[in-house]
Chains A and B, each alone.
Chain A
Amino acid sequence: MKREQDITAFVFLSPNIFGFLIFTLFPVLAALALSLFRWDIFNAPKFIGLQNYLDLLGWVFEDKSFQWIDPDFWKYLGNTIFYLLAIPLSMAASLFLAIILNQKLRCRIFFRTVFFLPTISASIGLLILWKYLYNGDYGLFNFLLSNIGIDGPGWLTDYHWAKPSIMMMMIWGSMGGVAMVIYLAGLQNIPRELYEAAELDGANGWNQFCHITWPMLAPTTFFIFVTSIIAGFQSGFDAAYILTQGGPAGATTTLDYYIYNHAFVYFNMGYASTIAVVLFFIVFCVTMINWRFGGRKVHYG
């Protein structure tokens, strides 16, 4: 009987297991292997050992100074890290929305749906919408600014404005999404008695938030932070692809887009895989650091 149950369980799990093996594990292992090769898709891959890693992370002594062999990688890593700054802001916005939606408001189901809409809408459509909003000449933002006498910037075309503009868009897209729903669930799990006791002691709303809500949400916050960091390192591709093509002057190119360019524009599959592997290790190390130092400060229950 037990054996039959196990077989049944496995049969039900097998589509997912095979999906994972074929579409996740195999590509990951293939990328790891390909990072040791030179491959342009047409010709047979050529084993070159760690050369791709040396080209990516190495440096040369030239003109009396050390220079990165691939300075673009470091620049785009910087862009990627810059986008991570959106995470705390996005989390704060998600928490704020969750607290609002946790109140006994009229139409709160409607508002929950509305705030979640960007998450389930086609990202391409949303990006094209943002492209029009950001347009320097006839976009909504510059139109509104011009009404109060401000000559708006080229949101996506100015080197200094392009990254913050995309960050703003990211915050908008993620604040009402999964993080808000998780926070909402977290809020609903906080025992009501704690607030009642605090009220009896004369604590105001802010004190209740600081001493009950925030500490009780620590595991939720930690989970959202860790997953957002992991996702953040892999973000920016769709915005670069649709809105800016990585420009101006590489200002919005992230490591994801850099990988794509090397793989499918320059046909350097081996080098693209190397960047992907290095990105994996960066994400892995950052996550470990988060667990090591952040995890300690989280109290569960």
Chain B
Amino acid sequence: MNAKLGITIMPIVFGLALLVVLILGWAYYQTQEEQGQSEDEKTRLVLALNVSHRDRPFFVETIDAFMKEHPNIEVEIRNIAGVRYYQKILIMIAGNVAPDLMWMGQSFAEFAYKGAFLDITDRLKDIPIDEYLPPALSWYRMNGRQYGVPYAIHMRIFAYNKKHFDEAGIPYPSDDWNFDEFLEITKKLTIDKDGDGKIDQYGFRGGLHRATFGAEIFSDDGQLALCNTPEMVHFFQTRLDLAFKYKVQPTLEMRNHEGRNTVMDKYPPFAQGRYSIIDAGNGDRAVMLEKCADIDWDFVLCPKVKRQAQWSSSAAIVISADTRHPDESWELCKVFISDKFQKSMALSGMPTNIKAAEEVIAEHRGTPSNLKAVLRAYDFLYPTPRVPNLKELEAIYVDAEEKIMLRMATPRDALDDAQRKMTLAIKKLNERSR
């Protein structure tokens, strides 16, 4: 092509570029027009969920009932189940196609700090707010404003195999047990059955919760890294001792052999009798009832070390700050806050409505017989603090945790390193916020 060609083709280039811009602009305009208003003038709401195939039918049923009651509202469910849920939501928000309502859990603060949610503080008068667990409400509060009301609480709770206790002649553990009792029990339950020098039945699989040691990764406001406190060092040293000194639980390498600690990885070995006590979740009850149907198991609270504490998380449906239909969205949101919906979801998480939770306990029959432990734990729930850069800070902690548990570094060295990195990350976050 010669130099003259440049002059010749320039109008064509600009013409094509203009055409592309016009097409894109028209497509964007059409998307905006269609979003929220369907052909028959119904208000259209998009609800993004991150729920399992077990929970999805409850949502579908609830939404069907809602649409019957509100014939002018159409709700579309987009279930983006999986670990990349938050990423996809972020990209939808950034692309200006945020769903009207969305499921939120641990990463609530990361979005709330960015102004992604509708403030519902003034709308709370529509619901009996006093019936809800105050700490659970506070998890969805930011600078005194409420952005959501969780419908379920998930907590880490221990599950134990009753048969193993019976065989060892040990009484079942009680919810107020302490670490020394826990250690003695796990020692007795750790058995080399065939005498080949390899342990066939471990007393414990999982992790104690750092909060029981009085340790936390960072302060509640996320401004102070707390990785290398004496409590944290004690916590990790105890975990190492359980695996390498007392050998009552498998090492991290051995656990990793079984998978990445997902519900599909940890319950089958428990059901097969490889472990006597595991850290389970109250939200995994449906999975456990299915996977561990052949054994007799029950729940017990995590043992007290320095204090009693249960790691917890929660789930809520929040409204996008960008929704064109805040009133309709709030109408739908109220359905998920209702005690009726919360009770229907109880297998996947205990209601935050205390009355509904008590009813679930009262109506419960069968396994686990100690379901009331979940309600008892409402007094000492310790969720990971809600901070804007949770993932980044948690990644630093997890890296240190792996180095310690794989014995690549001593707890002191790994935690000092994590402290330095986290302090820097917090400083960077503050700079970003300015």
The docked-state distance in angstroms from the alpha carbon of A265 to that of B389 is 10
* B-binding segment of A82-90, A151-159, A223-231: A151-159
The docked-state distance in angstroms from the alpha carbon of A46 to that of B431 is 11
Q: Which of A7, A10, A46 has the most CB of B within 10 A?
A: A10
Could you mark each residue 79-95 of chain B with 1 if its beta carbon is under 8 Å from any beta carbon of chain A, else 0? 00000000100110110
Q: CB distance A41 to B8 under 8 Å?
A: no
The docked-state distance in angstroms from the alpha carbon of A22 to that of B21 is 11
The distance from the CB of B194 to the nearest CB of chain A, in whole angstroms, is 16
Could you mark each residue 1-12 of chain B with 1 if its beta carbon is under 8 Å from any beta carbon of chain A, else 0? 110110011001
* Minimal Cβ-Cβ distance residue in B for A161: B253
Q: CB distance A6 to B9 under 8 Å?
A: yes
Which residues from chain B contact A137 at a C-beta distance below 8 Å? 257-258
The distance from the CB of B111 to the nearest CB of chain A, in whole angstroms, is 8
Tell yes or no: A113 within 8 A of B by CB: no
Beyond A157-B256, A245-B260, A249-B406, whether A7 also contacts B9 by CB under 8 A is yes
Beyond A6-B5, A9-B1, A157-B253, whether A247 also contacts B402 by CB under 8 A is yes
Beyond A154-B256, A249-B403, A266-B389, whether A43 also contacts B87 by CB under 8 A is no
Tier of interface size on chain A: 35 or more
Tell yes or no: B114 within 8 A of A by CB: yes
Q: CB distance B257 to A157 under 8 Å?
A: yes
* A-binding segment of B59-67, B70-78, B215-223, B391-399: B391-399
Which residues from chain A contact B9 at a C-beta distance below 8 Å? 6-7, 10
| Dominant secondary structure of chain B at its interface with chain A | helix
Tell yes or no: B16 within 8 A of A by CB: yes
The distance from the CB of B224 to the nearest CB of chain A, in whole angstroms, is 19
Could you mark each residue 413-428 of chain B with 1 if its beta carbon is under 8 Å from any beta carbon of chain A, else 0? 0000000100010001
B432 CB contact (under 8 Å) in A6, A10, A40: A40
Tell yes or no: A136 within 8 A of B by CB: yes
- In A270-299, the 8 Å CB interface with B consists of none
The docked-state distance in angstroms from the alpha carbon of A43 to that of B114 is 7
Tell yes or no: B230 within 8 A of A by CB: no
Q: CB distance B94 to A265 under 8 Å?
A: no
Beyond A9-B1, A249-B403, whether A42 also contacts B115 by CB under 8 A is yes
Tell yes or no: B116 within 8 A of A by CB: yes
Tell yes or no: A163 within 8 A of B by CB: no
Tell yes or no: A100 within 8 A of B by CB: no
Q: CB distance A248 to B12 under 8 Å?
A: no
Q: CB distance A250 to B256 under 8 Å?
A: no
Tell yes or no: B408 within 8 A of A by CB: yes
* Minimal Cβ-Cβ distance residue in B for A21: B17
* Minimal Cβ-Cβ distance residue in B for A14: B16
- In B194-253, the 8 Å CB interface with A consists of 252-253
Q: CB distance A248 to B428 under 8 Å?
A: no
The docked-state distance in angstroms from the alpha carbon of A22 to that of B116 is 29
The docked-state distance in angstroms from the alpha carbon of A249 to that of B400 is 8
B257 CB contact (under 8 Å) in A7, A41, A154, A264: A154
Q: CB distance A7 to B392 under 8 Å?
A: no
Beyond A247-B402, A249-B403, A261-B395, whether A40 also contacts B114 by CB under 8 A is yes
Q: Which of B115, B257, B424 has the most CB of A within 10 A?
A: B257
**What are 21 A-B contacts with C-beta separation under 8 Å?**
A3-B4, A7-B9, A7-B12, A10-B9, A22-B20, A40-B114, A41-B93, A42-B93, A46-B432, A55-B428, A135-B257, A157-B253, A158-B253, A159-B408, A249-B402, A249-B403, A250-B399, A264-B91, A265-B395, A266-B395, A268-B392
Chain B residues with CB under 8 Å of chain A are: 1-2, 4-5, 8-9, 12, 16-17, 20, 87, 90-91, 93-94, 110, 114-116, 252-253, 256-258, 260, 389, 391-392, 395, 399, 402-403, 406, 408, 420, 424, 428, 431-432
11 additional A-B residue pairs with CB within 8 Å, beyond A157-B257, A249-B408? A6-B8, A10-B1, A10-B12, A38-B432, A41-B91, A42-B115, A135-B257, A154-B257, A245-B260, A266-B389, A266-B392
